[in-house]
Amino acid sequence: MSQESTGLRGWPFPSPPVLHWNHLGVECAYTINTFGATPELPADVPEFVRQVFQPWFCGYVRIPEGHPWRKFGSYYDIPASVHGDLTYGPYAARYDDPKFYALEHSWEEVGGWVGFDTHHFNDPGTWTAEMVVEEVNRLAAQVAAGRTE
């Protein structure tokens, strides 16, 4: 965890978020992911391919200790309603699928953070920082309400 470098409780990434705030008592953050981003592509590359190599937003909320969602061992079981579903959080190994065999992360390893990204088909270039904050706040409202269904 890089709590010392970011000042965020349990922040699991080496770089700090672009923005960190509280909404309804829930810690929130967003980042801009540049993994795989390529600044210069040949001019003849189609736009839909270019979009794959552009930076994208990721939004996160921190699930507090004792929250009903902490009973789920994998983020894909959490009953959150968010753009593209949750794409980050605790993850229980899926032994029925060998490519996911060793990708196990506990709630402690992710610092209690779960999140979504905007890197789905037709997403790059369509999201603004304001839209991401709004979607993170929508997720935070679900956390604050203790949503279990």
**Domain assignment of residue 38, yes or no:** yes
State the CB neighbour count (10 A cutoff) for residue 77.
13
**Domain assignment of residue 149, yes or no:** no
**Domain assignment of residue 56, yes or no:** yes
**Domain assignment of residue 117, yes or no:** yes
**Domain assignment of residue 81, yes or no:** yes
Q: How many domains does the chain have?
A: 1
pLDDT score at 8? 78
pLDDT of 48-84, one tens digit each? Answer: 666 666 678 999 999 999 999 999 989 989 999 999 8
- Report which of residues 124 and 6 the model is more confident about: 124
Phi, psi (degrees; rounded to nearest 5) at 122: 70, 5
**Domain assignment of residue 130, yes or no:** yes
* pLDDT band of 89, cuts 50, 70, 90: very high
Q: How far is Cα 12 from Cα 125, in angstroms, rounded to an integer?
A: 26
pLDDT score at 63? 96
**Domain assignment of residue 29, yes or no:** yes
Mean pLDDT (the chain) is 82
pTM for this one? Answer: 0.80
Indicate the DSSP class of residue 62.
E
pLDDT score at 125? 64
Look up the domain containing 64 and give its range: 3-144
Kindly give, in sequence order, each residue whose CB lies less than 8 Å from that of residue 145, ignoring residues fewer than 6 positions away.
none
**Domain assignment of residue 86, yes or no:** yes
Characterise 100 by phi-psi region: left (phi > 0), alpha (psi -120 to 50), beta (else): alpha
* pLDDT band of 92, cuts 50, 70, 90: confident
Give SS3 for 50.
Answer: helix
Give me the percent of the chain exceeding a pLDDT of 90. Answer: 48
Mean pLDDT score, 87-95: 79
Whether residue 32 is predicted with pLDDT greater than 80 in this model: the reply is: yes
